[in-house]
Amino acid sequence: MRTGLLSLLLAAIALLAVPAQTFSAKTVVVDAGHGGQDPGAIGVNGLYEKSVNLDVAQKLKEQLIQRGYEVVMTRTADEYLSLAQRVEQTNAAQPSLFVSVHANSHPNPNVSGSLVLYYDSDYPQDSYPASEAMAKLSPESKKLANLVLKNIISETGFADKGIVPSAAYVIRMGQVPSILVETAFLSHSGDAARLSDSPVRQKLADGIAKGIAAYLPLPDLFPDLADHWAREAVLRLKDKGLVEGIFNRYEPDRAVTRAEWLALSDRLFKFADRLHAADAPDTGYPDTTTPKEQKKAETSLPTDQTEAAQAPSSPPELPESASQGQASPLAQTPPTWANRSAVQSETTAAPKPASRTPSPGQPQSFKDLPKSHWAYETFQNAVRLGYMNGYEDGTIRPDQPITRGEVTALLERMTADAGNSPPWTGPADFTDVPLKHWASGPIYRMKQQGIITGVTDKTFAPDKKMTRAEMAALMDRYVAAPK
Ligand SMILES: [Zn+2]
């Protein structure tokens, strides 16, 4: 079995190259009107427009993110921004579209309802010229305005005041289709009362989001991969049941956690089957890993990784982590991977995994791996198989990011017999992977075999966190390799 796996490895498993990072999804700028010293309109019930705007904008942001859009907010607090600053922020975000959220006011207290403003080059105002781009975008902005208004009306039941050509600054000076939503009239007692009601604000946000989705549709599955370089790879793996999203998102540019990497490896290599194969001849132990347990170990990625789920909007990591002052877990302690004794592993053959394999019935205890952890069984099996060890401080760090170096070493460990991992004696082409690097063996062997490449010709970035997109690309290559 091991020989077969090794040949698979040699066949061209994996690609650790990092293609140019591209913006992964359609971005919407959400602008909450007014703020700080500028309250906007003040309602007949005392409600401040700036507060309603911000709450609706934040609810809209949540709606859009759930649908798979990237969202940039011009403000997230009660602060003053000039109109020019809002447009500058918008241009800098290079979004697909811009939506500004306001509430209206009219001298006549009987005027009520929703309306949506957009710039229309058929109704130019000489004193308020539009940007060159916006003048040409009128048909797009108008289409967006119509779709958003229609959905607001159907969600909220506010009176339909129609779409209105306007020279308002924020919808006139930008570079992308732009609208300004006047949700309802704070000068109207009925509208104002409804605007103070959180469920109504939610309906407003839902309506605006539906309108945006109608204008700018995203794929149903993993919309955050819409234009991503790794989309095809992820979808192939999804087809095979090897990867899962988080809700409906894949979060391609988020660092993959050790648990996520291990879960994917387990789905592919079937740790429980390997344990069974390894144990049965020697011990005659009954297989303690029942099919049910294995199923549990292979369950999909967690849906409640709040910590991880909040990370995704951070920009993709550059090969910097070594110099960032954030020490790799492997730099502080002996290698995570079983049988690898840091530098020593370069000069001595690693012992057989079995020599450290606890008996199947005795799970190891790690401080940060409670039985309730979604990947508990997977980690236990990986430890039993000798793929992974805990750290000296008694942790195994399931929810920490995993680095490119760690993945490379672990993949070799899972695909090759430990005895087939001799020290590497050179050449050491990557300036950041000297021979004494703990993972130089796996890295240079896989490079030699054409399995991985560096982030540049000269660097591998072994301490860089692997992203979920890179994980998918790597496994896609592995799965596609001739068997
Ligand atoms: Zn306003």
User: pLDDT by residue (tens digit) across 121-171?
Assistant: 998 888 899 999 999 999 999 999 999 999 999 999 999 999 999 999 999
- Separation of CA 65 and ligand 1 centre (Å): 24
* Phi, psi dihedrals of residue 127, rounded to the nearest 5°: -75, -10
Burial of 46 (0-12, 13-18, 19+ CB in 10 A): exposed
pLDDT digits (tens, 9 = 90+) for 354-374: 334 445 557 889 999 999 999
Torsion of CA 448, 454, 456, 459, to 10 degrees: -90
CA of 443 to the centre of ligand 1 (A): 58
| pLDDT tens track for 433-452 | 999 998 999 899 878 776 77
Q: Which amino acid is at 435?
A: L
Q: How many A from CA of 358 to the centre of ligand 1?
A: 67
- Ligand 1 geometric centre to CA of 179 (Å): 13
Is residue 223 predicted with pLDDT exceeding 80? Answer: yes
Q: What is the pLDDT of residue 247?
A: 73
Q: How far is the CA of 103 from the centre of ligand 1 (A)?
A: 5
Distance of CA 374 to the CA centre of its chain: 19
What pLDDT was estimated at residue 466? Answer: 94
Residue 91 Cα to ligand 1 midpoint, Å, equals 21
Using the predicted structure, report yes or no on whether residue 336 has a pLDDT greater than 90.
Answer: no
Distance 49 CA to ligand 1 centre (A): 7
Q: ∠ CA(84), CA(86), CA(90), 5° rounding?
A: 115
Q: Find the 215 Cα to ligand 1 centroid distance in Å.
A: 24
Q: Identify the residue with better confidence: 323 or 164.
A: 164
Residue 297 scores a pLDDT above 60: no
Ligand 1: centre distance to CA 101 (Å): 8
Question: Percentage of the chain with pLDDT > 90?
Answer: 55
What is the CA(86)–ligand 1 centre distance, in A? 14
3-state SS class at 71: strand
What topology does CATH give the domain 27-215? Aminopeptidase (3.40.630)
| CA 100 – ligand 1 centroid, Å | 9
Q: Give residue 5 CA to ligand 1 midpoint distance, Å.
A: 64
Instruction: Report residues near ion ligand 1: CB below 5 Å.
Output: 33, 40, 102
Average pLDDT over residues 264-270: 92
DSSP state of 443: H
pLDDT score, position 224:
85
Contact 305, 399 (CB under 8 A): yes
Ligand 1 centre and the CA of 196: distance in Å? 16
CA angle 70, 302, 392 (to 5 degrees): 110
Please give the Cα distance from 36 to 53 (Å, whole number).
Answer: 12
Q: Supply angle C-alpha 197, 201, 207, rounded to 5.
A: 145
The distance from CA 318 to its chain's CA centroid, rounded to whole angstroms, is 16
So what's the pLDDT on residue 294? 38
Residue 269 has pLDDT above 60, yes or no: yes
64 CA to centre of ligand 1 in angstroms: 22
Please tell me the distance between residue 144's alpha carbon and the centre of ligand 1 in angstroms.
Answer: 19
- Cα 16 to ligand 1 centroid, rounded to whole Å: 50
b/e sequence 251-274, b meaning 16+ C-beta within 10 Å:
bbbbbbbbbbbbbbbbbbbbbbeb
Give yes or no for a contact between 345 and 441, defined as CB atoms under 8 angstroms apart: yes
Confidence band, pLDDT 50/70/90 cuts, at residue 219: confident
Q: How far is the CA of 36 from the centre of ligand 1 (A)?
A: 13
How far, in Å, from the CA of 42 to the mean position of ligand 1? Answer: 10
Ligand 1 centre to CA of 139 (Å) is: 24
Residue 216, pLDDT above cutoff 50: yes
In the chain, residues under CATH classification 3.40.630.40 are 27-215
- Distance between Cα 66 and ligand 1 center (Å): 27
Distance 94 CA to ligand 1 centre (A): 24
**Cα(186) to centroid of ligand 1, in Å?**
10
What is the reported pLDDT for 318?
A: 28
Distance in Å, CA 155 to ligand 1 centroid: 21
Distance from Cα 279 to the centre of ligand 1, integer Å: 71
